Amino acid sequence: MSHQPDKSHQPADMSLEHDKDHQLDARRLLCPLPVIRTQDAIAKLQVGELLTVTSTDPGAKMDIPCWCRINGHEVVEIKEQDHEIIITIRVMAEK
Amino acid sequence: MKPQAMEKQRKAVALISGGLDSMLAVKVIQDQGIHVEGINFFTGFCVEGHTHAVRKKHKDKQKRNNALWVAEQLGIKLHIVDVVEEYKDILLNPVHGYGKNVNPCLDCKTFMVKKAVEWIKEHDFDFIITGEVVGQRPMSQRKETMPVVAKNSGSADLLVRPLSARQLPATLPEREGWLKREQMYDFSGRTRKPQMALAKQYGFDDYAQPAGGCCMLTDENYAVKLIDMWDNRPSREYELDDIIMLKMGRHFRLAPHLKIIIGREEGENNFMQGYKGLFVSIFPTSHPGALCLVDGEFKSAVELNQALALVARYSQGKNAPEVTLSVRQIDGTEKEYNIAPMAVDDINKEWII
């Protein structure tokens, strides 16, 4: 995984063991399922952890960042390769 | 002096479809100082999920989820709930029947409000709001049926319709003084003018199609394909992949046991590639062309040749004397065939779903 968390943005009380990278395969799912799967995955993660979502739905590029803005999570990176959209999210304390 | 007790912040959950009416309903209630969050139920039949994201034809449409977009505009949280499994029973066994197509609108609305009732109990919210307008929809939004939704969903007087509230009996939030009835509306009928005027007042100038336009079950072409699937299977039970595939490609029913789906454009072909592990597939190798998925089985060489010729017809070799195609089994083994593309006049109209 190429994205390493930026430790300077971590909440002070977060331990490094929470600083893990999780993968979510949302290929072959269409909107809004990639968002639902992201929402459900993040609900199980700790503040500061990273989730990388891989989707084949072009709509995910707008919808997942929109969901993150609404709920206060940080989109670390969005990239596209081989018709796949790969979005890395840092879990934040919900708004 | 004894400090005055703080009045409890009342909270409502709004059913958000992504259309204008639910957007307005939320704003009307927010303006009364209520904390609102949105809830959106994914049944598997949402239009935008199955079309705009994949097809170039819809490139003018924003590739966005309208419910999420509305929530962001309103500054509210949105909870998207996957109800695909539970919804099967609503679609397959609607107590109040179907509308014009295969839309079980009254049962669907009742189901969603019932789920919202469960949600508010679980999350300590006070009431539910929807963007329903009396007389707007022929099935679920009639003055006679709106109380049916409230009663059968178990929401009783916790269900507030801010756009038509003054046409309906007072609800608990009004009686308790959490909401002022005079600050809600008395819209009715199919006209959209009052909603559009209110949208202008609020400064909303970008909003999605009116309610109802977001469900595939109200679409005649989709309904025909769904009914065809039901008619040609031993059971009407379905999986999510089944109902997604009904939205993809051209569908040809060659026999009761055999349907082929031919991609219409690059976006669909790319998406359908993901199903090659579930379906036998056919694709031209001598010319660029569409991917075809085979739903069923070939019971004769005639059926196989019909499918090959149709796929050749929708390839760039349609005017060539012969096109080479590969038939790929689910296990990945492939076999090539040469065939003359089917002439337009030879396409049996009864095959087309």
Q: Write the pLDDT tens digit of every residue in B28-56.
A: 999 999 999 999 999 999 776 545 556 66
Q: Are B112 and B119 in contact (CB under 8 A)?
A: no
Q: Do B101 and B165 have their domain in common?
A: yes
pTM for this entry = 0.83
> What would the DSSP string read from start to end of A18-46?
G--EEEEEETT--TTHHHHHHHHHHHTSP
Find, among A5, A9, A61, the residue nearest to A35 by Cα. Answer: A61
**Cβ distance of B54 and A30 shorter than 8 Å:** yes
Q: Do B140 and B257 have their domain in common?
A: no
Smallest CA–CA distance, residue A13 to chain B, in Å, is 26
B282: containing domain: 248-351
Q: Which of B65, B76, B77 sits opposite A63 (nearest CB)?
A: B65
Q: Contacts of residue B54 in chain A, CB cutoff 8 Å? A: 30, 57-58
Residue ranges of alpha helices (H) inside chain B are 20-30, 47-50, 66-74, 84-92, 105-123, 146-153, 172-175, 193-202, 220-231, 240-245, 266-273, 301-313
> What CATH code is carried by the domain that includes residue A76?
3.30.110.40
**Cβ distance of B72 and A57 shorter than 8 Å:** no
pLDDT at position B74, please?
95
**Cβ distance of B65 and A31 shorter than 8 Å:** yes
Q: Which of B68, B82, B267 sits opposite A70 (nearest CB)?
A: B68
pLDDT at position A14, please?
37
pLDDT at position B175, please?
96
**Cβ distance of B63 and A61 shorter than 8 Å:** yes
> What CATH code is carried by the domain that includes residue B74?
3.40.50.620
Cβ pairs A/B, distance under 8 A: 77
| C-alpha count within 13 angstroms, C-beta hemisphere, residue B346 | 10
Smallest CA–CA distance, residue B115 to chain A, in Å, is 17
Residue A9 lies in a domain: no
Q: Do B20 and B158 have their domain in common?
A: yes
Residue A85 lies in a domain: yes
- Please give the backbone phi and psi of residue B255, each rounded to the nearest 5 degrees, phi first: -165, 160
Cα–Cα distance for residue pair B235/A28, rounded to 1 Å:
25
Cα–Cα distance for residue pair B13/B19, rounded to 1 Å:
16
pLDDT at position A12, please?
37
ipTM for this prediction? 0.77
Q: Do B129 and B271 have their domain in common?
A: no
Residue A24 lies in a domain: yes
Q: Contacts of residue A33 in chain B, CB cutoff 8 Å? A: 42, 49, 82
**Cβ distance of A32 and B80 shorter than 8 Å:** yes
A37: containing domain: 19-90
**Cβ distance of A35 and B65 shorter than 8 Å:** yes
Q: Do B67 and B171 have their domain in common?
A: yes
Is residue A7 pLDDT above 90, yes or no? no
How do beta strands B78-82 and B323-328 pair? unpaired
Q: Do B30 and B176 have their domain in common?
A: yes
Residues of A near B (Cβ–Cβ under 8 Å) read 27-28, 30-33, 35-36, 39, 56-59, 61-63, 66-67, 69-71, 83, 95
pLDDT at position B122, please?
96
Cα–Cα distance for residue pair B129/B133, rounded to 1 Å:
12
pLDDT tens-digit readout, A46-89: 999 999 999 988 889 999 999 999 999 999 999 998 878 999 99
Catalytic residue list of A: 31
Residue A12 lies in a domain: no
pLDDT at position A59, please?
85
Task: Name the strand (E) or helix (H) holding B12.
Answer: strand B11-15
Cα–Cα distance for residue pair B169/B160, rounded to 1 Å:
10
- pLDDT less than 50: residues of chain B: 1-3, 50, 210-212
**Does residue B94 have a cis peptide bond before it, meaning omega lies within 30 degrees of 0?**
no
Q: Contacts of residue A31 in chain B, CB cutoff 8 Å? A: 46, 48-49, 53, 65
Q: Provide the number of structural domains found in chain B.
A: 2
pLDDT at position B151, please?
84
Residue B133 lies in a domain: yes
Residue B33: count of CB within 10 angstroms of its CB: 11
